[in-house]
Amino acid sequence: MAFARLTDPSTSHQAAGSVENITATQTAILKLLSGFPMTDEELIHHYNQQIRMGADARDFPRASESGIRSRRAELVKLGYVFDSGHRTKISSGRNAIIWKA
Protein backbone atom coordinates (compact mmCIF):
# COMPACT_ATOMS: atom_id res chain seq x y z
CA MET A 1 0.00 0.00 0.00
CA ALA A 2 1.41 3.42 -0.96
CA PHE A 3 1.28 6.18 1.63
CA ALA A 4 2.61 9.04 -0.50
CA ARG A 5 0.71 11.21 -2.95
CA LEU A 6 1.78 11.29 -6.60
CA THR A 7 2.84 14.91 -6.11
CA ASP A 8 5.05 14.13 -3.07
CA PRO A 9 8.84 14.24 -3.43
CA SER A 10 10.75 11.04 -4.11
CA THR A 11 11.93 10.87 -0.48
CA SER A 12 8.30 10.62 0.67
CA HIS A 13 7.72 7.75 -1.75
CA GLN A 14 10.86 5.98 -0.52
CA ALA A 15 9.76 6.38 3.10
CA ALA A 16 6.25 5.21 2.28
CA GLY A 17 7.59 2.08 0.62
CA SER A 18 9.44 1.11 3.77
CA VAL A 19 6.44 1.38 6.12
CA GLU A 20 4.87 -1.89 7.21
CA ASN A 21 2.40 -2.98 9.88
CA ILE A 22 1.20 0.38 11.07
CA THR A 23 -2.35 1.44 11.88
CA ALA A 24 -4.57 3.67 9.76
CA THR A 25 -4.19 6.48 12.31
CA GLN A 26 -0.40 6.16 12.21
CA THR A 27 -0.51 6.19 8.41
CA ALA A 28 -2.59 9.38 8.45
CA ILE A 29 -0.11 11.00 10.84
CA LEU A 30 2.77 10.05 8.53
CA LYS A 31 0.90 11.57 5.58
CA LEU A 32 0.52 14.84 7.46
CA LEU A 33 4.09 14.95 8.75
CA SER A 34 5.43 14.09 5.29
CA GLY A 35 3.78 17.26 4.04
CA PHE A 36 5.61 19.48 6.54
CA PRO A 37 7.01 19.24 10.07
CA MET A 38 4.69 20.34 12.89
CA THR A 39 4.01 20.27 16.61
CA ASP A 40 1.53 17.87 18.20
CA GLU A 41 -0.89 20.79 18.52
CA GLU A 42 -0.65 21.50 14.79
CA LEU A 43 -0.82 17.79 14.00
CA ILE A 44 -4.06 17.43 15.95
CA HIS A 45 -5.51 20.50 14.23
CA HIS A 46 -4.63 19.27 10.72
CA TYR A 47 -5.75 15.71 11.48
CA ASN A 48 -9.16 16.93 12.65
CA GLN A 49 -9.36 19.35 9.73
CA GLN A 50 -9.06 16.39 7.34
CA ILE A 51 -12.02 14.73 9.07
CA ARG A 52 -14.08 17.97 8.97
CA MET A 53 -13.31 18.31 5.26
CA GLY A 54 -14.76 14.84 4.65
CA ALA A 55 -11.64 12.69 4.35
CA ASP A 56 -12.41 9.01 3.99
CA ALA A 57 -12.63 7.40 7.46
CA ARG A 58 -10.32 4.64 6.22
CA ASP A 59 -7.64 7.29 5.60
CA PHE A 60 -8.33 9.43 8.67
CA PRO A 61 -10.14 7.39 11.33
CA ARG A 62 -11.60 9.34 14.23
CA ALA A 63 -9.07 9.72 17.03
CA SER A 64 -8.89 11.67 20.27
CA GLU A 65 -6.20 14.29 20.86
CA SER A 66 -4.40 11.95 23.25
CA GLY A 67 -4.77 9.12 20.73
CA ILE A 68 -3.12 11.19 18.01
CA ARG A 69 -0.25 12.10 20.36
CA SER A 70 0.10 8.43 21.37
CA ARG A 71 0.19 7.23 17.74
CA ARG A 72 2.81 9.89 16.94
CA ALA A 73 4.88 8.72 19.92
CA GLU A 74 4.64 5.14 18.64
CA LEU A 75 5.91 6.32 15.26
CA VAL A 76 8.86 7.95 17.02
CA LYS A 77 9.66 4.64 18.74
CA LEU A 78 9.39 2.84 15.38
CA GLY A 79 11.80 5.33 13.81
CA TYR A 80 9.37 6.85 11.30
CA VAL A 81 9.01 10.23 13.03
CA PHE A 82 11.82 12.36 14.45
CA ASP A 83 12.42 15.45 16.55
CA SER A 84 13.41 18.10 13.99
CA GLY A 85 15.59 19.84 16.55
CA HIS A 86 13.39 22.93 16.31
CA ARG A 87 10.96 24.29 18.87
CA THR A 88 8.09 26.76 18.64
CA LYS A 89 5.64 28.29 21.06
CA ILE A 90 2.18 26.74 21.10
CA SER A 91 -1.12 28.21 22.32
CA SER A 92 -0.24 27.55 25.98
CA GLY A 93 2.87 29.72 25.58
CA ARG A 94 5.15 26.74 26.12
CA ASN A 95 7.78 25.52 23.69
CA ALA A 96 6.91 22.38 21.72
CA ILE A 97 8.90 19.97 19.58
CA ILE A 98 8.42 20.23 15.84
CA TRP A 99 8.12 16.66 14.56
CA LYS A 100 9.08 15.47 11.08
CA ALA A 101 8.63 12.26 9.13
Q: Is the pLDDT of residue 5 over 70?
A: no
pLDDT at 68: 98
- Domain span at residue 29 reads 22-100
Q: Is the pLDDT of residue 47 over 60?
A: yes
CA distances from residue 68 to 9, 13, 48 in whole angstroms, order as listed? 25, 23, 10
The answer as to whether 2 is a domain residue is no
Smallest CA-to-CA distance from 2 within 54, 59, 55 is with 59
The answer as to whether 13 is a domain residue is no
According to DSSP, residue 56 is labeled -
CA 89 and chain centroid, separation: 19
The 10s digit of each residue's pLDDT in 61-89 is 999 999 999 999 999 999 999 999 999 99
Smallest CA-to-CA distance from 48 within 34, 30, 65, 72 is with 65
Q: For the chain, what is the domain count?
A: 1
Q: Is the pLDDT of residue 39 over 80?
A: yes
